[in-house]
Amino acid sequence: MKIDDILQFFLPKNEKFYPLFEEAAQNLVNISKKLILMLETPGKQDRSRIIKEIEDLEHVGDGLAHKIVYELNTNFITPFEREDIHQMMVAIDDVVDYIHGSAKRIDLYNIEEFPKSFMDLAIINLKAAEQLQIAVKNLRNLKNRDDIKKACILINEYENQADDIFDNEVARLFVETKDAVEIIKIKEVLSAIETATDKCEDASMIIDGILVKNA
């Protein structure tokens, strides 16, 4: 056994990180649900209220990311490699940012009628976020490795589904929609939601790497 491994055995893992990871994952699920609620809500005024709530959750995500960076800079012992923690939090924060971005674009572009693909992608993104939350919660003791692996596999499947929805919807737009400006508006929103799911997969791949390094 290497001397570093012996030291790691006796030194306690810093417990400050896990609650922050879990808060960030919960915030991601919350903002994903808000996006669905916004898409379900008729009327620009009511939607504007929900968009403000989404913006507030995006600020919460930024705050949690900053707290984790602070803990990385002030703690000698971390649960996992510092780079993995940082990359995981950046990916989770990116998901939150893209969800906020999709809601903001809907508002700024004055899109009143939403194609079904908006909701389809939002639902898939929520499913991916919920699986990411499961994976993050199980990082605390790394005993439920099978649950983490299953969650990561499902996130990959959801990301593939999101890719298909995006590609098929863009193809449909080019065929059925003659208004170039409308195509750009819809495509921008679709791209933001689809990218959010991509970032979920990025976070899951980092978690998968943490499993390998801590086998």
Going residue by residue through the chain, which has 215 residues, state the pLDDT in tens, using 9 for 90 and above.
455 554 444 444 567 899 999 999 999 999 999 999 999 998 888 999 999 999 999 999 999 999 999 989 988 888 889 999 999 999 999 999 999 999 999 999 999 889 999 999 999 999 999 999 999 999 987 878 999 999 999 999 999 999 999 999 999 999 999 999 999 999 999 999 999 999 999 999 999 999 998 87
Residue 95, pLDDT score: 97
Q: Which amino acid is at 126?
A: L
Does any domain span residue 9?
no
Q: In one letter, which amino acid is 134?
A: I
Specify the pLDDT at position 9.
47
Residue 39 is part of which domain span?
15-213
In a domain, 38, yes or no: yes
| Position 80 in a domain | yes
CA dist 212 and 5 (Å) reads 15
The answer to whether residue 176 is domain-embedded is yes
Query: What are the start-end ranges of the H helices in 75-179?
Result: 82-108, 116-137, 145-176
What is the model's pLDDT at position 8? 46
Residue 58's CATH number? 1.20.58.220
With beta carbons less than 8 A apart as the criterion, state whether 132 and 151 touch.
yes
Tell me, yes or no, whether 93 lies in a domain: yes
The residue assigned the tokens 């298909």 is 164
- Whether residue 102 is contained in a domain is answered as yes
Q: What's the structural domain count of the chain?
A: 1
